[in-house]
Amino acid sequence: MIRVTVEEKDDRIQKIMITGDFFFYPEEAFPQLEQALVGVKADEEAIRKVVNLAYEKLGVVSVGVEPRDFVAAIMQTLRGRQHA
Amino acid sequence: MPEENWRALDVEYDNPYMNLAVEEAIPRKVGEGKVPNTVRFWRNANAVVIGYFQSAKLEVNFEACKKLGTTISRRFTGGGAVYQDRGNLNYAISIRKGHRLIPDDLSETFKILSSGVVEGLRMLGLDAKFKLFNDIQINGRKVSGAAGSMRWGTVFHHGSILISSNLSILSKVLIAPNRRLKDKYVRSVGKTVTTIRDELGRDISVDEVKENLRKGIEKAYKIKLVDDILTREEELLAEELFQSKYSTEIWNLGR
């Protein structure tokens, strides 16, 4: 399960924390994924682009979770629901 | 083919932070080539251990932990929160990168490295099965969860096995995934999680389980386990990690 805490200002992500029971390698790169999302427009397409790019640039491999799961979790939190 | 010897360690402390510090010190030294590939068995007395990416605040009931004297700690691997008492046995496997057992695919790594424990549980007469991507189940109920990492030149895999843990404490100290579904979750914990004792229908000692897991690991990995102790270097590193990381609030509760 992915849990997202997000603050939005002027339709952009201002602060974000993504937590959960997933496996993400290299682990130390995870804060960079969160950081990359700060300032990004709070819409699905923009978020998907950044998550995919972060995966590619940071050489991320994940188990139990895929980029689209992060996107879905962020979007559901932005829409005020929790992603299960 | 010459026999491949690995180290078997039986190292545990009363302090869960120290247990987790040792958990990191071993794969670091294995990766440096200072010690052989290693299997460690150990237990915590009364602790919640959360995954690297989890939020302590969101996963753990602080009040219940305080009341029950349960320590909240964080490990260096991903995955979910677990409750650990003396009825729970942890195993940890550190293998130097490039070993014949390690495939390229990560999900497959979980499966292969779980095979020793699956084999050991079968030796106990249990119908244990690996379940994607990190569980071991008996009769459709989870008895063990695993986590892993690839760092420091080591492929690391560890897991918790419920032998006779108190499942009712587990449901008190861990927060249900969704508050609204709490009742359903609490009920489902009893239904989806099981213990070796319950599955065997008899009391079983930790030593008996450990003995079978050792044999299962030896058979599945085609290795021989040789009893050993931590090196001085590992002890010093563990002490340092305990001080600078695992005993600190920022590490355990910072997310």
Going by their DSSP bridges, the two strands B38-42 and B5-10 should be labelled as: parallel
Q: Is residue A26 a part of any domain in this protein?
A: yes
End-to-end CA distance of chain A: 6
- How do residues B150-167 score in pLDDT, each as one tens digit? 999 999 999 999 999 999
Residues of chain B contacting A27 with CB distance shorter than 8 Å: 52-53, 76-78, 149, 151
Question: Tokens 């052989």 — which residue?
Answer: B36
Cβ–Cβ gap A22/B53 under 8 Å: yes
Interface test with B, best of A23, A24, A30 (most B CBs within 10 A): A23
Which residues in chain B are contacts of A61 at CB distance < 8 A? Answer: 106
DSSP for B87-156, please give it: TEEEEEEEEETT-TT--S-HHHHHHHHHHHHHHHHHHTT--EEEETTTEEEETTEEEEEEEEEEETTEEE
Q: What is the mean pLDDT of residues A48-53?
A: 98
- Give the closest of A19, A82, A84 to B255, CB-based: A19
Integer Cα distance of B162 and B168 in angstroms: 13
- Mean pLDDT check: name the lowest of A73-82, B167-176, B194-203: A73-82
Token pair, residue A83, equals 């992603």
Structural contact between residues B80 and A21, judged by C-beta atoms closer than 8 angstroms: yes
Q: Which domain holds residue A49?
A: 2-78
A30 inside 8 A of chain B by CB: yes
The phi-psi region of residue B77 (left if phi > 0; otherwise alpha if psi is between -120 and 50; otherwise beta) is: beta
**CA-CA distance, B47 to B241, in Å (whole number)?**
18
Q: What does the pLDDT look like over B79-117, one tens digit per residue?
A: 999 999 999 999 999 999 999 999 988 889 999 999 999
On the CB side of A75, how many CA atoms lie within 13 Å of its CA? 13
Minimal Cβ distance to B107: which of A19, A30, A63: A63
Q: Does A72 touch chain B (CB under 8 A)?
A: no
Write down how long chain A is.
84
Task: Give the count of Cβ contacts less than 8 A between chain A and B.
Answer: 58
For helices A44-58 and A67-78, give the axis angle rounded to 10 degrees. Answer: 150
Residue A72: give its domain's CATH number. Answer: 3.30.390.50
Domain count, chain A: 1
Q: Confidence band (pLDDT; 50, 70, 90) for B191? A: low
Nearest to B88 by CA among B137, B40, B46, B116: B46
Chain A contacts of B52, Cβ < 8 Å? 27
> CB contact, 8 Å: A59 with chain B?
no
Mean of pLDDT values over B15-28? 98
Average pLDDT score, chain A = 94
Is a pLDDT exceeding 60 seen at residue A41? yes
Q: Which of A28, A63, A77 is best to mutate for the B interface (most B CBs within 10 A)?
A: A63
Average pLDDT, chain B: 93
Q: Does A19 touch chain B (CB under 8 A)?
A: yes
The alpha-carbon gap from A64 to the nearest alpha carbon of chain B, in Å, equals 7
Q: Report yes or no: B115 and B157 within 8 Å, Cβ to Cβ.
A: no
Can you give the CATH number for the domain in which B221 is found?
3.30.930.10
In a domain, A44, yes or no: yes
What pLDDT sits at residue B72? Answer: 98
CA A27 to chain B, closest CA, distance in angstroms equals: 8
- Could you give the number of structural domains in chain B? 1
What gap in Å lies between CA A63 and CA B165, rounded to an integer?
A: 27
Residue A84 placed within a domain: no
Average pLDDT over residues B27-56: 98
Q: Is residue A38 part of a domain?
A: yes
Minimal Cβ distance to A61: which of B79, B106, B147 = B106
CA distances from B206 to B88, B106, B164, B182 (A): 8, 30, 9, 32
- Residue-range definition of the domain harbouring residue B178: 5-253
- DSSP 8-state secondary structure symbol assigned to residue A7: E
